[in-house]
């Protein structure tokens, strides 16, 4: 379990994340939703130590994050941000191999190589593993980064808007991969998603944020409700059940 | 061709260049020519290697291929120290005459400065590259202005001494420093070599590096100190050279086409040596000393710099 306790982040006098307490259950997919500027990405960055927090604490499996050694933490939790601009030219294989750095510091052994090729297979990138990242489409690139995170083989996987810039087909592809991480490999996946219907169809839990605070959290089925959604986004929603999935209609 | 063969090819080219440099036009005066040219060769090797090493490391940390460590004002600081010493103690003072003492003093100051610079700029949350560049640039200008101020007040004869140190000169390499700087370089290169795998990860950017378990702040701080120390070695030996690092680092990336620093670093060092030796051969035998090596390097490096900027803009 990841437990965030009264997390605070402020820039100047403006709080971006305002005293947020939230917990993430092991072996589930938890999605953070909310309008732009609600503090979702900031929260994720603090939980994953990419950003210093101004207050509060984070504990992983009951142990405060500070007590972990860097290497240990990198074997326990991984984070993928939404922009992944690279200054170096890497092939898919090279990139995914970096996922093994916490284990073998760039000297890959047999086991590392196996994990790398499994990760590439899992994200269906075998045919393009020799290709360079700048030769790939947006969806393929995104999958390559997910493969790297996979090779890192952590219990907790945090993703900040993994569907950014992806078309529908690729979004579904990525979400299916993430879902199978939870169902088949028992990983814990935490992500920030803007498309509420992806959150509704794939995640187990939803945490809704607004203006730096958590306004609603619970099982997906409970949170996806016209009233809750209206209070989160300040607009009207219709929620319809199609094939046992709650679909939100908000376009007009 | 894989990286190992490329590295060996570069190494053999540098070896051939070195032999040419030692032999051409020696006319059998070996007792005179060999020790003299040998010392120059050693200085070229040290300078080229130190500059290439520090530039590659610096570019990896900053994630930018048109930056060199000069941007944080290390060269101007070196000149300021030299001017200050001559201004206060005179050009015949103990510190000025004793090359080793001078070197240690300058190095300490430059490392101290880099440390402070890092503390002030990298500790904050917003590690904005452009802000770093701007502050470095402003500080560099500030150091230069301070130097100019002292130079104006100085005795003209003393000013001559400052001027000697203002421009890179491969003709009067400070050979008495070779032993000290050589040892220092060997130590630094050895320490830096242990971080080669970390450098690969740092090249992915801060977020990825932290995610992959690199103690980012600690490693970057150490690397920055390493860069400062290497730059002081090169500057103490020949003086400030603007574009050598930029030229050598980028030529190395183009040749090696790999992201692995265990290949980039040795290849870069060899390329640095090769560039200086080749340049000196050209100066001696093509231009017959009508121009200097630093002019050639800055000319080629400057043109290359412009080309890089134009290329980046198109991409």
Tell me: the pLDDT tens digits for A156-188?
999 999 988 788 888 898 899 899 999 998 999
Chosen for mutation from B212, B249, B255 (greatest number of chain A CBs closer than 10 Å) is B212
Q: Please write the tens of the pLDDT for every residue from A196-210.
A: 999 999 999 999 999
| A52 contact residues in B (CB cutoff 8 A) | 125
Tokens matching residue A45: 């960055």
Tell me, what's the pLDDT at B108?
A: 87
Prediction ipTM score? 0.91
3-state helix, strand, coil in chain A (%, to 5): 40, 30, 35
Indicate the pTM of the whole model: 0.89
With a pLDDT cut of 90, the percent of chain B lying above it is 32
Instruction: Answer yes or no: do A98 and B204 touch at CB < 8 A.
Output: yes
Interface contact A10, partner B, CB < 8 A:
no
Considering only CA atoms, give the Rg of chain B: 20
Range with top average pLDDT, A81-85, B10-14, B80-84, B113-117: B10-14
Tokens matching residue A181: 């991480």
Give bridge partners of residue A2 from the DSSP assignment: A24, A60
| A145 contact residues in B (CB cutoff 8 A) | none
Tell me, what's the pLDDT at B128?
A: 63
Given a cut of 60, whether residue B43 has pLDDT beyond it is yes
Interface contact A98, partner B, CB < 8 A:
yes
Instruction: Answer yes or no: do B205 and A101 touch at CB < 8 A.
Output: no
Alpha helices (runs of H) in A15-137, residue ranges in sequence order: 40-47, 70-74, 92-98, 101-104, 110-122
Tell me, what's the pLDDT at A89?
A: 86
CB environment B16-46: b (16+ within 10 A), e (fewer): ebbeebbeeeeeeeeeebeeebeebbbbbbb
Angle at the Cα of B44 (from B259 to B268), degrees rounded to 5? 5
Instruction: Answer yes or no: do A73 and B213 touch at CB < 8 A.
Output: yes
The pLDDT mean for chain A works out to 92
Distance CA B165, CA B147 (A): 12
Distance CA B5, CA B79 (A): 41
Q: Residue A79 — φ and ψ, nearest 5°?
A: -135, 140
| B124 contact residues in A (CB cutoff 8 A) | none
- Range B206-214 average pLDDT: 92
- Which segment of A6-10, B37-41, B234-238 scores lowest on mean pLDDT? B234-238
The pLDDT mean for chain B works out to 86
Closest partner residue to B204 (CB to CB) among A70, A86, A106 is: A86
Residue B305 banded pLDDT, cuts 50, 70, 90: confident
Instruction: Answer yes or no: do A98 and B210 touch at CB < 8 A.
Output: no
Q: Which one has a higher pLDDT value, B71 or B249?
A: B249
Tell me, what's the pLDDT at B251?
A: 93
| A80 contact residues in B (CB cutoff 8 A) | 211
Q: Which of A18, A75, A79 is nearest to A4 (CA)?
A: A18
**Chain B residues bordering chain A (beta-carbon distance below 8 Å):** 63-65, 125, 197, 200-201, 203-208, 210-215, 257, 259
Q: Which of B42, B59, B92, B44 is nearest to B199 (CA)?
A: B59
CA distance A249 to chain B (A): 36
Q: Which one has a higher pLDDT value, B168 or B66?
A: B66
CA distance A21 to chain B (A): 23
Distance CA A59, CA B62 (A): 31
Which pLDDT tens digits describe chain A residue by residue (252 residues)? 999 999 999 988 889 999 999 999 999 999 999 999 899 999 999 999 998 899 999 999 999 999 999 999 999 999 999 877 777 889 999 999 999 999 988 788 999 999 999 999 988 899 999 999 988 888 888 889 999 999 999 999 999 999 887 888 888 988 998 999 999 989 999 999 999 999 999 999 999 999 999 999 999 999 999 999 999 999 999 999 998 899 999 887
| A81 contact residues in B (CB cutoff 8 A) | 207
Instruction: Answer yes or no: do A78 and B200 touch at CB < 8 A.
Output: no
Instruction: Answer yes or no: do B211 and A51 touch at CB < 8 A.
Output: no
Chosen for mutation from A98, A154, A158 (greatest number of chain B CBs closer than 10 Å) is A98
Q: Which domain holds residue A29?
A: 2-249
Distance CA B236, CA B234 (A): 6
Instruction: Answer yes or no: do B213 and A101 touch at CB < 8 A.
Output: yes
CA distance B15 to chain A (A): 30
Given a cut of 90, whether residue B289 has pLDDT beyond it is no
Distance CA A160, CA A138 (A): 16
CA B225 remoteness from chain centre: 13
Tell me, what's the pLDDT at B27?
A: 77
Tell me, what's the pLDDT at B172?
A: 67
Given a cut of 60, whether residue B31 has pLDDT beyond it is yes
Q: Please write the tens of the pLDDT for every residue from B127-154.
A: 566 677 788 888 889 999 999 999 898 8
Whichever domain contains A204, its CATH number is 3.40.50.300
Closest partner residue to B197 (CB to CB) among A81, A88, A106 is: A106
Tell me, what's the pLDDT at B119?
A: 74
Tell me, what's the pLDDT at B127?
A: 57
CA distance A73 to chain B (A): 7
Q: Is the sign of the CA dihedral A105, A107, A109, A112 positive or negative?
A: positive
Residue B69 banded pLDDT, cuts 50, 70, 90: confident
CA distance A223 to chain B (A): 31
Interface contact A134, partner B, CB < 8 A:
no
Given a cut of 90, whether residue B309 has pLDDT beyond it is no
Q: Please write the tens of the pLDDT for every residue from A238-251.
A: 999 998 899 999 88
Closest partner residue to B259 (CB to CB) among A49, A75, A90 is: A90
Q: Which one has a higher pLDDT value, B177 or B98?
A: B177
Q: Are strands A55-60 and A29-33 parallel, antiparallel or unpaired?
A: unpaired
Tokens matching residue A3: 């437990």
Q: Which one has a higher pLDDT value, A247 or B90?
A: A247
Chosen for mutation from A70, A133, A145, A152 (greatest number of chain B CBs closer than 10 Å) is A70
CA distance B77 to chain A (A): 30
Closest partner residue to A70 (CB to CB) among B64, B203, B213 is: B213
| B125 contact residues in A (CB cutoff 8 A) | 51-52
Q: Which of A85, A45, A49, A86 is nearest to A65 (CA)?
A: A49
The total domain count for chain A is 1
| B65 contact residues in A (CB cutoff 8 A) | 87
Distance CA A68, CA A174 (A): 30
CA distance B249 to chain A (A): 14
* Residue-range domains of chain B with CATH: 3-310 (1.10.3470.10)
Instruction: Answer yes or no: do A52 and B63 touch at CB < 8 A.
Output: no
| A152 contact residues in B (CB cutoff 8 A) | 211-212
| B200 contact residues in A (CB cutoff 8 A) | 98, 106
């Amino acid at each position: 379990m990841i437990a965030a306790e009264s997390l605070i982040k402020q820039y100047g006098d403006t709080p971006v994340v305002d005293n947020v307490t939230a917990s993430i259950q092991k072996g589930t997919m938890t999605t953070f939703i909310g309008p732009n500027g609600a503090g979702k990405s900031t929260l994720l960055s603090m939980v994953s130590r990419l950003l210093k927090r101004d207050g509060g604490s984070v504990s992983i499996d009951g142990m405060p994050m500070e007590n972990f050694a860097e290497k240990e933490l990198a074997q326990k939790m991984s984070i993928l941000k939404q922009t992944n601009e690279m200054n170096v030219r890497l092939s898919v294989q090279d990139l995914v191999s970096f996922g093994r750095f916490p284990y073998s510091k760039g000297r890959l052994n047999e086991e590392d190589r196996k994990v790398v090729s499994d990760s590439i297979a899992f994200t269906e990138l075998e045919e393009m593993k020799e290709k360079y990242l700048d030769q790939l489409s947006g969806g393929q690139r995104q999958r390559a980064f997910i493969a790297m995170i996979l090779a890192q083989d952590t219990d907790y996987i945090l993703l900040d808007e993994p569907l950014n810039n992806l078309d529908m087909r690729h979004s579904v592809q990525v979400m299916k991969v993430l879902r199978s991480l939870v169902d088949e490999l028992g990983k814990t996946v935490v992500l920030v998603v803007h498309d509420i219907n992806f959150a509704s169809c794939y995640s187990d839990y939803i945490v809704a944020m607004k203006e730096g605070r958590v306004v609603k959290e619970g099982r997906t089925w409970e949170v996806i409700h016209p009233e809750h959604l209206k209070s989160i986004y300040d607009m009207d929603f219709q929620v319809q059940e199609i094939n046992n999935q709650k679909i939100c209609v908000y376009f007009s | 061709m894989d990286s190992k063969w490329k590295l060996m090819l570069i190494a053999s080219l540098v070896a051939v260049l070195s032999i040419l440099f030692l032999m051409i036009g020696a006319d059998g005066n070996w007792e005179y020519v060999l020790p003299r040219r040998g010392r120059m060769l050693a200085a070229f090797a040290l300078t080229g290697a130190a500059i290439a090493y520090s530039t590659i490391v610096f570019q990896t940390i900053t994630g930018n291929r048109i930056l060199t460590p000069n941007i944080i004002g290390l060269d101007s600081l070196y000149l300021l120290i030299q001017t200050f010493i001559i201004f206060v103690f005179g050009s015949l003072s103990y510190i000025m005459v004793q090359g080793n003492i001078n070197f240690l003093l300058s190095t300490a100051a430059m490392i101290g400065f880099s440390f402070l610079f890092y503390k002030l700029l990298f500790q904050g949350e917003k590690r904005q590259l452009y802000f770093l560049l701007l502050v470095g640039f402003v500080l560099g200008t500030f150091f230069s202005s301070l130097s100019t101020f002292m130079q104006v007040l100085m005795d003209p004869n003393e000013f001559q001494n400052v001027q000697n140190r203002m421009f890179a000169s491969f003709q009067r390499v400070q050979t008495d420093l070779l032993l000290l700087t050589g040892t220092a370089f060997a130590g630094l290169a050895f320490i830096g070599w242990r971080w080669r795998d970390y450098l690969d990860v740092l090249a992915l950017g801060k977020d990825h590096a932290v995610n992959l378990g690199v103690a980012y702040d600690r490693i970057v701080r150490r690397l920055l100190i390493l860069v400062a120390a290497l730059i002081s070695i090169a500057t103490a030996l020949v003086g400030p050279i603007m574009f050598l690092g930029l030229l050598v680092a980028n030529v190395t990336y183009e040749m090696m086409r790999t992201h692995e620093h265990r290949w980039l670093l040795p290849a870069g060092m060899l390329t640095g040596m090769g560039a200086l030796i080749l340049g000196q051969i050209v100066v001696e035998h093509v231009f017959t000393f009508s121009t200097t090596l630093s002019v050639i390097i800055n000319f080629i490096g400057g043109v290359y710099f412009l080309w890089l900027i134009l290329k980046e803009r198109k991409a």
